[in-house]
Structure 1
Amino acid sequence: MSMIGEYARVTPAELDRARRDPEWALDLVSARMNAEPADGTDPAAARCLDIDKAWDAVGFLLRRTSFPVDIVHGEEELANADDWGYGPPRCLAPDRVRAAAEALASISGADLTAGVDPADLARSEVYPTIVWERGGGESLDYVREHYDALRPFFRAAADDGDGMLVWLG
């Protein structure tokens, strides 16, 4: 089973309710995920986004830039939340989503992966290590593709004043 990085935009009122009632939040997110087209929605218009197995590489590469927000794991626990796959969800408050969107705007996918090759990810045991061990430029293209989807997703969330639920599913 693969660990997939998952995101859901939520309004401030929905975030407040999710903090009080994580079970309600799971129902909300599940309904939204089922409502969005399977062939993908423009990230700027989506309410939910997954970055597949690129999440750990994105996190590794962002940490190298001293990125100000933990967009891969979230920054705040949802108290009493059940496991949504590989642990409970975490969240980002609207001000942290805005800070992330501003920082993401200044780092292109090409900038993010500059000076890195798959061997660097393999040596650092970035998930999924088997992909990096095989090498090849396609693995960095894969990371850039998913990272480049995060940028408009966070920008749209910030523009709308949304918070974010984040989890590994």
Structure 2
Amino acid sequence: MSMIGQYACVTPAEFDRALGDPEWALKLVIGRMEAEAGQPAEPAAARCLDVDKAWDALGFLLRRAAFPVDIVHGEGDIPAAEDWGYGPPRYLTAERVRVAAEVLAGISGADLTAGVGPEDLAEAEVYPSIVWERGESLDYVREHYDALRPFFRAAADRGEAVLVWLG
């Protein structure tokens, strides 16, 4: 089974409820994911987004760029949350989403991956390591990064928090 990086935007009221009722949050997110599965939305209009298996490469590249927000793993724990796949969900507050969106706007996918090759990801044992060991292109990572930028911009513009998890 693969580990997939997942995101869900939540309104301030939904965020408050999610912190106190993670089971309700999971049902909310599953409902949104199912609704969007039939009609995939552009990242700016999506309420949920996944970055497939690119999450660890994104984390590696963002750390390398000294990105100020952990958009890959989230920054806060949802109290008493059960496992949503590969651990419990985490979150970014609306304020941290705004900071992330502002910084993301200034870093293109090409900028993020400049000077980095698959051999660097293989050496760092970035998941899924077999992909990088084969020398696969970073285009896959750039595509997912380029989807995160409008997703975070739209969430920030709506004043929303973002739930983050590996599913």
Distance 1:48 1:155 in 2: 13
Over residues 27-59 of structure 1, what are the superposed CA-to-partner deviations in whole Å (9 max), with x where a residue is unaligned? 000000000134631000000000000000000
SS state at 1:98 partner: helix
Letter of the aligned partner of 1:148 in structure 2? D
Question: Does residue 159 in structure 1 map to residue 123 in structure 2?
Answer: no
Could you tell me which residue of structure 2 aligns to residue 66 of structure 1? Answer: 66
Q: Unmatched 5+ residue regions in structure 1?
A: none
Letter of the aligned partner of 1:79 in structure 2? P
Q: Percent identity?
A: 74
- Aligned length in residues: 167
RMSD: 0.8
Shift of 1:84: 0.1
Between 1:9-18 and 1:34-43, the stretch displaced more is 34-43
Could you tell me which residue of structure 1 aligns to residue 54 of structure 2? Answer: 54
Q: TM-score, normalised by structure 2?
A: 0.98
Could you tell me which residue of structure 2 aligns to residue 76 of structure 1? Answer: 76
Question: Does residue 132 in structure 1 map to residue 132 in structure 2?
Answer: yes
Shift of 1:136: 3.3
Distance 2:41 2:68 in 1: 27
SS state at 2:37 partner: coil
Q: Unmatched 5+ residue regions in structure 2?
A: none
Q: TM-score, normalised by structure 1?
A: 0.97
